[in-house]
C-alpha cells in the first residue's frame, strides 16, 4: 500500500452526473470529496479564459439554435469566434455526437430546461476557494491549457493568461494545491522555462493517432522521454490503457512498466479517464479498473468522471485517511 493515498481528480467536474464543466458539476465534485477539480481552458474572441473542453461548441451547447449563421465553412461553431457575452447566452448540455445527434453517454444527465452557463476560469477558481472555506477542506485545482498551437494559429496565446489568472487566485508555486497540464510538450517546456511558471506541471501523454498536438507520444513514454519530462514537469497523465489491461476473466494485468518507470524519474502518474459507464475493453467492472490502477500499478492519482466511486475505492484501501 502506498504511504500517501492517491488523489481523486474530478475530470471536468462530477461529469458523470451533471453536464461537464458546468458550475453544478464542480459543486457536486467538491461535495463528493474530489481532491482536485479539473479545468480545461480555452479563450474567447475577447481573450477571456473559459472552462470548456472542446474548441468547437457544437457537441456541448445549443449554439446551433442560438447562432445558426455563425458556423465556419467546416460546419463547426468555434468558441474563439464568440465574445464572452455571446457565449453567456448558451447553455451547456450533455455531450452529443454532432453528426448523429446521439448522446455520447446515454445514461447521464438528460434534463432540459435547466440552464448551465459557460463559466470563466476566474469564476471557477473563486468558486473552489469559497467552497473550500465553507466546507473546511482544501480541494485543489487541475488546469489544462487546451490546444496552444491551434490558439496561436488563431492569433491568441492562452498560457500567459492562464498562468496570470491562476496566480491572481494564489496558485503560483509548487507548494500550492494546483497542477497545470498540457498535451503539448513544447508548450509545457515553454511554460516552465520561458514563462517561468513554478506550478506543479503535468505532461499529458496522448496517442499519436489522436493528432492532439505535434508531440511524439511514443517517444515520451520511453526512458529517454520520461527523463526529459522530469527536467520540466512533475508528473505525467497517460491513458489508463497504457498501464493496465484485462485478462480473459476481466481481471487487471499490467501491460507496461510505464507507471514504475515514470515514478523512478520522480514523476507522479495520473492516468485518464475512469468512466463506470464506459469501462476499458475487457474490464470486469469498476473495481477491476480501480484495483489494476491503484493496487497493481500503484498510480498516484486518477482522472475520473465518477469521483464518488474512485473516492470510495481509495478510502476503502486507505481507511485511516481523515475525511472532512
Distance of alpha carbon 101 from alpha carbon 109, whole angstroms: 15
Neighbours of 238 (CB within 10 A): 24
Contact yes or no for 61/118 (Cβ under 8 A): yes
- Binding range to Ca ion, per CB under 5 A, among 40-48, 74-82, 239-247, 308-316: 40-48
Closest Cα to residue 263, out of 212, 298, 309?
298
Q: Is 151 an active-site residue?
A: no
User: Considering beta carbons, is residue 30 or 53 the nearer one to Ca ion?
Assistant: 53
Should residue 144 be labelled a site residue for Ca ion when binding is judged by CB under 5 A?
Answer: yes
User: Considering beta carbons, is residue 40 or 54 the nearer one to Ca ion?
Assistant: 40
- Binding range to Ca ion, per CB under 5 A, among 60-68, 138-146, 214-222, 237-245: 138-146
| Alpha carbon distances (Å) from 106 to 8, 10, 29, 109, 111 | 24, 20, 20, 8, 12
Q: Is 53 an active-site residue?
A: yes
What Rg, from alpha-carbon coordinates, does the chain have? 19
- Which residue in the list 30, 53, 151, 270 is annotated as catalytic? 53
Return the residue nearest Ca ion (CB atom). Answer: 144
Least spacing, CB of residue 39 vs Ca ion, in Å: 8
Should residue 20 be labelled a site residue for Ca ion when binding is judged by CB under 5 A?
Answer: no
Closest Cα to residue 34, out of 320, 317, 321, 309?
309
- Binding range to Ca ion, per CB under 5 A, among 90-98, 109-117, 141-149, 280-288: 141-149
- Binding range to Ca ion, per CB under 5 A, among 37-45, 126-134, 193-201, 246-254: 37-45
149 Rama sector, left if φ>0, alpha if ψ -120 to 50, beta otherwise: alpha
Least spacing, CB of residue 273 vs Ca ion, in Å: 9
Count residues binding Ca ion (CB under 5 A).
2
Should residue 40 be labelled a site residue for Ca ion when binding is judged by CB under 5 A?
Answer: yes
User: Considering beta carbons, is residue 201 or 288 the nearer one to Ca ion?
Assistant: 201
In 61-197, which residue ranges form alpha helices assigned H by DSSP?
63-66, 84-87, 121-135, 148-153, 158-168, 185-193
User: What is the contact surface with Ca ion in residues (CB under 5 A)?
Assistant: 40, 144
Amino acid at each position: 500500500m502506498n504511504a500517501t493515498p492517491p488523489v481523486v481528480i474530478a475530470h471536468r467536474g462530477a461529469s458523470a452526473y451533471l453536464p461537464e464543466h458546468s458550475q453544478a458539476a464542480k459543486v457536486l465534485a467538491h461535495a463528493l470529496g474530489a481532491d482536485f477539480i479539473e479545468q480545461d481552458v480555452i479563450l474567447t474572441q475577447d481573450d477571456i479564459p473559459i472552462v470548456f473542453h472542446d474548441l468547437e461548441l457544437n457537441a456541448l451547447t445549443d449554439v446551433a439554435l442560438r447562432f445558426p449563421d455563425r458556423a465556419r465553412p467546416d460546419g463547426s461553431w468555434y468558441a474563439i469566434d464568440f465574445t464572452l457575452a455571446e457565449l453567456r447566452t448558451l447553455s451547456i448540455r450533455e455531450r452529443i455526437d454532432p453528426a448523429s445527434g446521439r448522446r455520447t453517454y446515454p445514461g447521464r444527465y438528460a434534463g432540459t430546461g435547466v440552464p448551465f452557463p459557460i463559466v470563466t476560469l476566474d469564476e471557477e477558481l473563486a468558486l473552489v476557494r469559497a467552497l473550500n472555506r465553507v466546507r473546511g477542506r482544501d480541494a485543489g485545482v487541475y488546469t489544462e491549457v487546451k490546444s496552444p498551437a491551434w490558439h496561436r494559429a488563431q492569433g491568441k496565446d492562452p498560457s500567459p493568461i492562464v498562468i496570470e489568472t491562476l496566480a491572481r487566485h494564489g496558485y503560483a508555486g509548487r507548494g500550492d494545491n494546483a497542477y497545470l497540464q498540457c498535451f503539448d510538450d513544447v508548450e509545457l517546456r515553454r511554460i516552465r522555462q520561458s514563462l517561468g511558471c513554478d506550478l506543479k506541471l503535468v505532461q499529458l501523454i496522448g496517442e499519436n493517432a489522436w493528432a492532439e498536438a505535434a508531440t511524439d507520444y511514443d517517444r515520451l513514454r520511453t526512458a529517454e522521454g520520461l527523463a526529459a519530462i522530469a527536467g520540466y514537469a512533475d508528473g505525467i497523465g497517460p491513458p489508463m490503457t497504457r498501464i493496465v489491461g484485462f485478462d480473459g476473466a476481466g481481471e487487471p494485468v499490467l501491460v507496461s512498466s510505464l507507471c514504475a518507470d515514470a515514478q523512478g524519474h520522480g514523476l507522479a502518474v495520473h492516468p485518464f479517464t475512469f468512466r463506470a459507464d464506459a469501462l476499458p475493453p475487457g474490464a470486469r467492472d469498476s473495481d477491476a479498473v480501480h484495483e489494476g490502477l491503484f493496487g497493481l500499478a500503484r498510480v498516484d492519482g486518477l482522472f475520473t468522471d465518477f469521483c464518488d466511486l474512485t473516492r470510495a475505492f481509495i478510502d476503502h484501501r486507505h481507511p485511516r485517511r481523515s475525511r472532512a
